[in-house]
Chains A and B, each alone.
Chain A
Amino acid sequence: MSIEIRNIRKQFGQFTALDNVSLDIAAGELLALLGPSGCGKTTLLRIIAGLEKPDAGQVLFGGADATHTHVAERQVGFVFQHYALFRHMTVFDNVAFGLSVKPRRERPSQEEIRERVMKLLKMVQLDWLADAYPGQLSGGQRQRIALARSLAVEPKVLLLDEPFGALDAKVRKDLRRWLRELHNDMHITSVFVTHDQEEALEVSDRVVVMDHGHIEQVGRPDDIYEHPATPFVTQFLGDVNLFHGRVDAGQLTIGSYEQALGQHQDADGDAAVAYVRPHDLDLTLQAAGALAQGRVEHIHAVGPVVRVELQQADGQTIEAAVSKERFRALGIVPGDTVYVTPRKLAVFLQEDAGQQDYVI
């Protein structure tokens, strides 16, 4: 079922959690809401679920207005960050809960409930734990039971709040892949909230990046990573180096470095910031055509990529990531002066980066 979110606003006292947010979610899609804590992503998820009422705006399920539909009637599955399993019930009773509270007319028979619960437990590969209590399970197992419980009522929409947030790194990776596969099998419209960009980019069909109660960018993971729409998205998606300069009629100037951009054609000597990811910076020993220069401070040579930290004359640091081969060819040691050239950069005029106070 598709979900449409129209002009949603939500205030908590003085704090604006959501400021006029609109978003379309296609049926069968797996969507990630990504952002730092306090950006409004969880509030948006809870409003979709009906756990929170928006101050203004509408939520449409399959084209029909569901803004005032009670949670219990929305047919959403919600998976909580800390699982919210009923600890006095067995795993089986937890999963069966949604079926057993249905009004008598709609309630399946005992055998039918048993069959459906066991099928779900098999699906999450925990049928052997049916008689255990939540307290006896590991974090990853609890999370899978929470998921099975939410699926038992055959929801039209599955909502997950930081589903892997409370798990350790290894389990987290396994569960991510598993969730992706599960979604491929079931094709239920799913939305999950995360503050981990790697998780969002890896698992979802589309990513919604949020900050300060509004949507910064919506797009496919590779799209967002390659073409971040705002400085915030650029910085949030990974490590990045900042270079300050000017743009005049599509021509970028940073110190003596110049480059023609395919954008900002109408800029008129505006201050601009160029963002370059460490692996998009090449190191050279030639000054000609270099973006900047610096003294090598640290070299981290563990793994396939060598990370080199440079210090510029003004004290700013630059981080570059080069391949082992390239590093060997350069033969640099701490204390050397090297030059950097960008392979790819994202340039934003200063007015776009307005909220952040950069020192030029």
Chain B
Amino acid sequence: MSNILNLRHSVLPGFRLSFGITLFWLALIVLLPFAALVYSTVGMGWDGFAAAVGSPRVIAAIRLSFFTAGLSALINLVFGFLVAWVLVRYPFPGKRLVDALVDLPFALPTAVAGIALTTLYAPNGWIGQYLAPLGIKVSFTPLGIIVALTFIGLPFVVRTVQPVLEDLEKELEEAATCLGASRWDIFRRVIFPATLPSLITGGTMAFARATGEYGSVIFIAGNIPMVSEIAPLIIVSKLDQFDQQGATAVALVMLGISFVFLLLINLIQWWAARRHGAR
């Protein structure tokens, strides 16, 4: 085994055992189900695939999923950066509490987030009652989906940008100040470019998570076909009708589009890293 793996010699024991456990568990829990997905895809045939994915309702759902995920990722880029910035740079009372709170979307089960947000933004809810007179409907519209996805994605951006801002050398800003740059110049030309890679990473993670999100969205979305029905819900309802083939087809399209997005963003990151040298 160690030959195939080209294992570098180490005095530490336990490689066979730990590697064995890892591989066994990975195969059983992750690889086997994926194999099942690939297997049923192969057995599907083009016609079945096209029929399942081609219907206007499915196309609308996929479009909605990626559109709302993209928009919520953009919102999170702005506010996630702001939150990270304020947490790193400005002192204020209760900062540690606020810092801990940022992880809430990671820790709070999605279904709980879903019903809580729906209740808040319903026309008679704590926030919804102020929006309703303005003619803004959030719950049971695409806007509600964006709210839920923003909630889900926020910590991804904050937690990737925050350490980069923390590690940003003060000398860089001092050097720029000595050279006569204003605060705005420094932000625009020194700080922002330095944090951009982490913003892209965080935004991508928020986006990827949002495209597949289910629990927090289905309550607030209202799930009106062609209007506020997301792609994961299509998969679920196809499964409810025992249409496994259709569900698989939609899942494949979702995975495919996500994969292309991830690839693109990795390419950008790779290109940026190469340009800026070893450090």
- Point out residues on A near B: beta carbons under 8 Å: 49, 51, 71-73, 76-78, 80, 82, 84, 86-89, 97-98, 101-102, 132-137, 146, 149-150, 152-153
Contact = CB atoms under 8 A, between A and B. Distances in A.
Contacts of B178: 49, 51, 71-72, 76-78, 150
Contacts of A146: 175
B180 A78 contact: no
B180 A135 contact: no
B190 interface: yes
Interface string B185-202: 100011001101000000
B181 A97 contact: yes
Interface string B238-279: 000000000000000000000000000000000000011111
Contacts, number: 81
Given A82-B171, A87-B194, A97 B176 contact: yes
Contact of B171 (A84, A88, A98): A84
A86 B177 CA distance: 13
A135 B276 contact: yes
A78 B178 CA distance: 7
Contacts of B190: 86
A102 B177 CA distance: 12
A80 B177 CA distance: 13
A153 B179 contact: yes
B182 A72 contact: yes
Contacts of B174: 51, 71, 78, 80, 84
Given A101-B182, A133-B277, A84 B177 contact: no
A51 B171 CA distance: 10
Nearest to A78: B178
B171 A80 contact: yes
A86 B182 CA distance: 16
Given A97-B189, A133-B277, 11 more contacts: A51-B178, A72-B177, A72-B178, A72-B179, A78-B175, A82-B171, A84-B175, A86-B194, A88-B196, A149-B175, A150-B179
Contact of B185 (A73, A82, A101): A101
7 contacts: A78-B174, A82-B169, A86-B175, A86-B193, A88-B276, A89-B193, A135-B277
The secondary-structure label for the interface of chain B is: helix
A78 B171 CA distance: 10
Contact of A135 (B181, B185, B196, B279): B279
Contacts of A88: 193-194, 196, 276
Centre residue among A73, A76, A98, A146 by max chain B CB count within 10 A: A98
Contacts of A82: 169, 171
A329 B190 CA distance: 66
B180 A87 contact: no
A71 B177 contact: yes
Nearest to A137: B277
B169 to A, nearest CB: 6
B172 interface: yes
Centre residue among A82, A84, A87, A137 by max chain B CB count within 10 A: A84
Contact of A134 (B179, B181, B277): B277
Contacts of B169: 82, 84
Contacts of A77: 178
Contacts of A51: 174, 177-178
Contacts of A152: 179
Q: Which 6 A-B pairs have the closest CB atoms?
A: A135-B277, A98-B179, A84-B171, A135-B279, A101-B181, A84-B175
Nearest to A134: B277
Given A72-B182, A98-B180, A153-B179, A134 B279 contact: yes
Contacts of B185: 101
A136 B278 contact: yes
A82 B178 CA distance: 15
Centre residue among B179, B189, B275 by max chain A CB count within 10 A: B179
B146 to A, nearest CB: 31
Centre residue among B175, B176, B181 by max chain A CB count within 10 A: B175
Nearest to A149: B179
Contacts of B179: 72, 97-98, 101, 149-150, 152-153
Interface string B51-84: 0000000000000000000000000000000000
B277 A136 contact: yes
Contacts of B193: 86, 88-89
Contact of B276 (A80, A87, A97, A150): A87
Interface string B117-159: 0000000000000000000000000000000000000000000
Centre residue among B178, B180, B196, B277 by max chain A CB count within 10 A: B178
Contact of B180 (A102, A133, A137): A102
A307 B124 CA distance: 91
Nearest to A88: B193
A84 B275 CA distance: 18
B180 A153 contact: yes
B161 to A, nearest CB: 15
A199 B194 CA distance: 34
Given A72-B177, A97-B176, A97-B181, A87 B277 contact: yes
A194 B174 CA distance: 20
Interface string B215-249: 00000000000000000000000000000000000
A90 B176 CA distance: 15
A87 B279 contact: yes
A78 B196 CA distance: 27
